[in-house]
Structure 1
Amino acid sequence: MRGRGSPEFWSERTGFFQRLGPAVSFTLGTGLAAVGFTGFLSISALVPGADAAWSQPDPSEGGGAAERPLVDSAGGDPLTHNTLYRSGEMGKVSCTAPGLDAHDPESMEVFVHAIADCLDLAWSGYFAEAGMAFSSPNRVYWYADGHSPCGPFPREGTAAFYCRANQGLYLGVRDIVAASAGNGHPEVYTFLLSHEYGHHVQGQARILAEFHSARVGADGETADELTRRSELQADCLAGVFLGASGESLGLGGAERANILDDVARRSDHGAERTHGRERNARLWTEHGMDRRDPASCNTWNADEDLVG
């Protein structure tokens, strides 16, 4: 499938195009990490460069200086007083997505490109209205083994991740279906991509940079709490997009239930405490969908029991 407005790479092995932004080539550098989609396993604390559903920012991230300060006049902490929170609701987003056969890789690639186009439209427009600079992420949809600046892919349990080093959304076109137990509901994959994109939004607003700075030197329990706040915020930001675009994408009550069931399935259930308990993952996703306002996604000011 040919992407619009970006360089393309033709894979003789797969017979499909990969859509890449101007800052990335498919030769891709090497690194040390990828992020597991199943269970949304975050390893960003261990490896520079990956956030998964989750990535680690660097000083060059963010697409240039913003037209407005990224920290508002109410305070100096970009986590809690970010201009992103003072820009109001996301307006109604109208876009369409093709039908999806989750077991047909070409159909899946067409579908996720359409959703990514819609995400670009929604968030670039929102940042523009807020007077903040924004650049869309690069897209790399893989069919075979490869390397990103954040490390090799795929790895066991890895189906999708966000790499801050090249602002890349990475997604295994076949792997995400396997990691989702063959789920045939398109809205599940819409949420997956929207969550990954939520980390890009955090990066553009400099929230990711502050988050990782705060984690430096933090003990394990504190680091995990910070990670949960970041991941639950990405759930909520995904919800903001879904709330704004849901009518045009045909997301009714049944689709909403499927999304929330999938969110719950990927929340913390074992000893790993990095993405929040089921009730909190559902809560923040629903909050974003209902409010459609990034201000409602300020997990950094939330009580501990809401981010546990």
Structure 2
Amino acid sequence: MRLDDEVESQNVEDRRGGGMRMGGGIGIGTIVIALAASYFFGINPMTIINGAQVLQGNAPQRSATTNAPPAEDAGSHFVRRVLGNTERTWQHIFRTQLNQDYPSPKLVLFSDATPTACGTGQSAMGPFYCPPDRTVYIDLSFYRELRERFGAGGDFAQAYVIAHEVGHHIQNVVGISDKYEAARAHMSPTRANALSVRLELQADCFAGVWAAVAQQLNAKLMEPGDFEQGLTAAGAIGDDRLQRQSQGRVVPEAFTHGTSEQRQRWLRRGLTTGDVRQCDTFSAQSL
């Protein structure tokens, strides 16, 4: 991606290095249990982690030291430029396709842990979007894991991660998230997981719509191979692949984000159409 000429977003807060520390620490066992609960029972993993902190007297505390990266570090510039492009692109999409204005989300850069309106955000949970405060949270160490553990490197792969979370913001703004939560509350864990898959695949499709329209607005933004990087990243974090790596077997009824093939398919749909109307995963007979 050619981002040098992109105007940086002013909606980014950098909490790295001086935000939160966990008093006494949360063990890897707690994180594993939280992830398992998310897979098998549809429970927000942060709920379990926050509960463990309270029981252990490990409420998040302000760190007494600051190890924040320089304010002008490359990672911060990259995120600000990508978010800035999503703001301008989605404003265009909202006006031309939805006939309304686009309210931009905030984005918080953090390390280890940070307070959110959804509970304590943990680096171990990966990037996430919190609907109540309309904010994307990301620890940039996730990009290293994406590159080294999953073999999905490159600027566009990293931008796709941000665009996916912004996709959840789109769902929140247009009312999809509220309908999803209302429906999910009355479902069995298996059915709730299946509905979650549709929510996540739509966010993938929205990420593709952003990229397609961004390229239409600026033909120099994307470089050869960029879209392939995004598709590689989407395939690398499919539920089937992650389950096979972590537990050696695949449990389809525990899927919450979709298979590698599904994630790539819906991202590609957004990339090829640039049309939000093509992202209705909830009505699709086949994912």
Instruction: State the percentage of identical aligned residues.
Output: 22
Supply the distance in 2 between the matched residues of 1:265 and 1:6 (Cα, whole angstroms): 29
Aligned to 1:148: 116
Aligned to 1:57: none
For the pair 1:302 / 2:284, whether they are aligned, the reply is: yes
For the pair 1:177 / 2:159, whether they are aligned, the reply is: no
Letter in 1 for 2:173: Q
Q: Which of 110, 121, 137 is matched with 2:105 structurally?
A: 137
In structure 2, runs of 5+ residues without a counterpart are 1-6, 21-30, 48-71, 241-249
Give the conservation status (yes or no) of the 8 Å contact 1:159–1:179.
Answer: no
Give the conservation status (yes or no) of the 8 Å contact 2:15–2:111.
Answer: no
Supply the distance in 1 between the matched residues of 2:153 and 2:263 (Cα, whole angstroms): 22
Give the conservation status (yes or no) of the 8 Å contact 1:49–1:149.
Answer: no
Supply the distance in 1 between the matched residues of 2:15 and 2:206 (Cα, whole angstroms): 33
Supply the distance in 2 between the matched residues of 1:132 and 1:163 (Cα, whole angstroms): 22
Aligned to 1:168: 135
Give the conservation status (yes or no) of the 8 Å contact 2:239–2:258.
Answer: yes
Letter in 2 for 1:107: A
Give the conservation status (yes or no) of the 8 Å contact 1:137–1:169.
Answer: yes
Letter in 2 for 1:151: G
Q: Which of 239, 264, 268 is matched with 2:208 structurally?
A: 239
Aligned to 1:255: 226
Residues 176-255 of structure 1 mapped to structure 2, 5 A cutoff? 176-181=143-148, 183-246=152-215, 247-252=219-224, 254-255=225-226
1:185-220 CA deviation, whole Å, 9 max, x = no partner? 111111000000000001111011111111111112
Supply the distance in 1 between the matched residues of 2:45 and 2:154 (Cα, whole angstroms): 33
Give the conservation status (yes or no) of the 8 Å contact 1:242–1:289.
Answer: yes
Tell me the SS of whatever aligns to 1:301: coil
Supply the distance in 1 between the matched residues of 2:40 and 2:190 (Cα, whole angstroms): 15
Q: Which has the larger radius of gyration?
A: 2
Give the conservation status (yes or no) of the 8 Å contact 1:194–1:241.
Answer: yes
* Deviation at residue 179 of structure 1 after TM alignment: 4.4
Q: Which of 30, 36, 46 is matched with 2:43 structurally?
A: 46
For the pair 1:268 / 2:239, whether they are aligned, the reply is: yes
1:202-260 CA deviation, whole Å, 9 max, x = no partner? 111101111111111111222122111111110000001111223332242x2222211
Size of the aligned set, in residue pairs, is 226
1:196–1:128 distance in 2 versus 1, CA, 3 Å: same
TM-score normalised to structure 1 length: 0.65
1:43–1:165 distance in 2 versus 1, CA, 3 Å: farther
Tell me the SS of whatever aligns to 2:132: helix
Aligned to 1:72: none
Tell me the SS of whatever aligns to 1:275: coil
Q: Bigger relative contact order, structure 1 or 2, given CA contacts below 8 A and separation 6+?
A: 1
Aligned to 2:24: none
Higher helix share: 2
Supply the distance in 2 between the matched residues of 1:7 and 1:208 (Cα, whole angstroms): 23
Residues 83-94 of structure 1 mapped to structure 2, 5 A cutoff? none
Tell me the SS of whatever aligns to 1:123: helix
Residues 278-289 of structure 1 mapped to structure 2, 5 A cutoff? 278-289=260-271
CA RMSD of aligned residues (A): 3.2
Give the conservation status (yes or no) of the 8 Å contact 2:238–2:257.
Answer: yes
In structure 1, runs of 5+ residues without a counterpart are 15-25, 28-33, 51-104
Letter in 2 for 1:280: Q
